Structure 1
Amino acid sequence: MDQTAEKKSNVVEELLKENGGWAVIDGGLATELETNGADIKDALWSSKCLFSCPELIRKVHLDYLEAGASILITCSYQATIQGFLSRGFSQDQSEALLRKSVELALEARDIYLKKCPKKRQILIAASVGSYGAYLADGSEYSGDYGKYVTLETLKEFHRRRLQVLAEAGPDLIAFETIPNKTETQAYVELLKECEIETPAWFAFNSKDGVNVVSGDSLEECGSIADSCQNCVAIGINCTPPRFIHDLIISMTEVTKKPILIYPNSGESYDPLKKEWVKSNGVSDEDFVSFVNVWHEAGASLIGGCCRTTPDTIRAISRALKGGV
């Protein structure tokens, strides 16, 4: 790894040091896009906004920065070259939309820092959603891709997308909602094969508080991620808050790297209706009541996923500062 990559790999460490051992990730992007009037009931989900209303993406990023987030996750979770090609975009146009997701977050950071009286470090994490997210059938919540989707299939699916996002200049690559061991391995191998120097985090999802959603061992998946030279943080996203504490403990068994968590609100997703269903959802107050417990258990990067809002992130930031 050259000196530039070495410097890049320390961005999370530097951010945590600047904040006294913790940092705040942003919250649900799609949730806020809908709140601001975007129609995302679509196979492309929030990535539809990259061509339909990019100004709303920039606005939501700014809202999260104003709320106290130090890490912005780009609007590329469900943005794939294959998905854009299926909608009639060319290869070049599809790659441009991927770059646009990073550019919008970079622009939001620049706008915020120009008017922010107290300068602070803000990182941009380029989101790479799982293969299941592209399928738009909810299979990122099961990890069941069928017997014909192999390690090589997944590597070929993600390869060019990962290259384009890394070349766009984010501070981090965020592999999110990883549902199984095979996809974890695919990411690790791709980073090496493509000679990508951008540091990465790996975030898994769970529906039982023990394993990842496919049933694969969380500890085994975490160990695969931990072995990756680019990996600078490992953790959990889009998982109900009630499972997070035990999952953090499991993660501390397999890594010494920073642990990140950004749970959803606790509601359930209906992939057919493309809607979140209120079930065991928690309020912002309930959600935030867990924050210091999670931090004490070992999580240092904390934010929110689906159905969380700038109010959630504001409350998380206040809690970590000792205000709650």
Structure 2
Amino acid sequence: MTLRDLLDNHVVVLDGALSTQLEDLGVDTSNALWGALALDTDTVAITRVHTAYFDAGAHVATTNTYQATVPGFLAAGYDDAAATRLIGRGGELALAAAQHHRSSGHGAEALAAGSIGPYGAYLADGSEYTGNYDLSVEQYREFHRPRIVALHDAGVRTFAVETQPRVDEVLAVLDELAALPQAEAWVSFQLRDPATLADGTPLTDAVTRVDAWASAHPGVVAAVGINCVAPELVAPALQAMRPLTDLPLLCYPNSGDTYDPVSKTWQTAESHDRFTAHVPEWVGLGARMIGGCCRTTPSDIGEITRRLAPTTP
């Protein structure tokens, strides 16, 4: 089953935050590799998170490879072979969780998607939220190629090109994916406001360029949209994207929780303020894939599933 197969029949439910859940299971994420270090230190916790999201109703488990890159592992003291092996392990864990979900009588609709975070995530300085870096197309391809190949070699065929602040980087990643058999991907941008990517590119320009690339390379891009944004940005962004492409739209925003810099604590959003309250509106605006990003939980994914039940064919 492919992502396109799912999209033919459903509003696809994505999973939610992975590192947040790993932290709740006692995994230390206070390092440059973030939750990706658990690929070496705690694979059981990763499997538990994937399973929790499938049990909550997600159709897709996203691999724990957003922050997992060969240069990142090298900087942490691993060698090339170990880095490649750990990235592949991320694919294997998600694929195994999907297979277990299918074989347990929950139906065939369980996929694994290989997370491809931006170059800025590897920098570990918040650059994925600014796009304040500038590589050549070939440099982007050389950076992303080992992770893409390792995931593909592990059996992953669906990729999440996510939290992307720059369209030039996205197109370079898509060029890499186009060279691999059976690879498909969704593209998801990070925004500074409803109309603008994190690096200042108009969202309309970015979506138009992805749509043109997809038309020239049929079968690779399955959907386009936004993630890791405040919930209030989603509706206007969907409205801006819808006239520009026939690709299915997607959104997986942050929870809606707010951070208090004085107390250095998070304030959990009440149910009526939480992002899940807006799911029916987003479906009405054309979203065909919906999940959660930072500080979202299996409970949130379960709520998305419940809210989608009346609208799912």
Work out whether the TM-score is over 0.5: yes
Query: Structure 1's 124 and 261: CA in aligned 2 closer, same or farther, altered over 3 A?
Result: same
Write the mapping of 1:1-324 to structure 2, written as runs, cut at 5 A: 11-19=2-10, 22-116=11-105, 118-145=106-133, 147=134, 149-192=135-178, 194-226=179-211, 227-228=213-214, 229=217, 230-267=220-257, 278=266, 282-285=269-272, 286-322=274-310
The letter of the residue matching 1:239 is V
Give aligned-pair identity as a percent.
37
**RMSD of aligned C-alpha atoms?**
2.1
- Paired residues of 1:57 and 1:75 also in contact (CA < 8 A): yes
Query: Structure 1's 71 and 283: CA in aligned 2 closer, same or farther, altered over 3 A?
Result: farther
Residue 268 of structure 1: how far off its partner (Å):
6.8
- Paired residues of 1:81 and 1:94 also in contact (CA < 8 A): yes
Residue 12 of structure 1: how far off its partner (Å):
2.4
The letter of the residue matching 2:280 is N
Gaps of 5+ in 2: none
Residue 88 of structure 1: how far off its partner (Å):
1.9
- Paired residues of 2:177 and 2:184 also in contact (CA < 8 A): no
- Paired residues of 2:230 and 2:253 also in contact (CA < 8 A): yes
- Paired residues of 2:166 and 2:198 also in contact (CA < 8 A): yes
Query: Aligned residue for 1:5?
Result: none
Residue 284 of structure 1: how far off its partner (Å):
4.7
SS in 1 for 2:244: coil
Deviations 1:241-268 (A, max 9, x none): 0000011112212211111110012357
Distance 1:70 1:62 in 2: 11
The letter of the residue matching 1:158 is H
- Paired residues of 2:258 and 2:269 also in contact (CA < 8 A): no
Query: Structure 1's 266 and 24: CA in aligned 2 closer, same or farther, altered over 3 A?
Result: same
The letter of the residue matching 1:167 is D
Structure 1 length normalisation: TM-score? 0.88
Residue 164 of structure 1: how far off its partner (Å):
1.6
Distance 1:301 1:173 in 2: 14
The letter of the residue matching 1:215 is G
Query: Structure 1's 142 and 269: CA in aligned 2 closer, same or farther, altered over 3 A?
Result: farther
SS in 1 for 2:197: coil
The letter of the residue matching 1:222 is V
The letter of the residue matching 1:305 is C
Where do 4+ consecutive residues of structure 1 move more than 6 Å?
none
Gaps of 5+ in 1: 1-7
Query: Structure 1's 255 and 266: CA in aligned 2 closer, same or farther, altered over 3 A?
Result: same
Query: Structure 1's 98 and 212: CA in aligned 2 closer, same or farther, altered over 3 A?
Result: same
Residue 101 of structure 1: how far off its partner (Å):
0.3
- Paired residues of 2:238 and 2:282 also in contact (CA < 8 A): yes
Structure 2 length normalisation: TM-score? 0.91
SS in 2 for 1:215: coil
- Paired residues of 2:253 and 2:275 also in contact (CA < 8 A): no
Deviations 1:67-121 (A, max 9, x none): 00001110000000011111221211111111100100111122222323x4131
Distance 1:301 1:110 in 2: 21
The letter of the residue matching 1:178 is Q
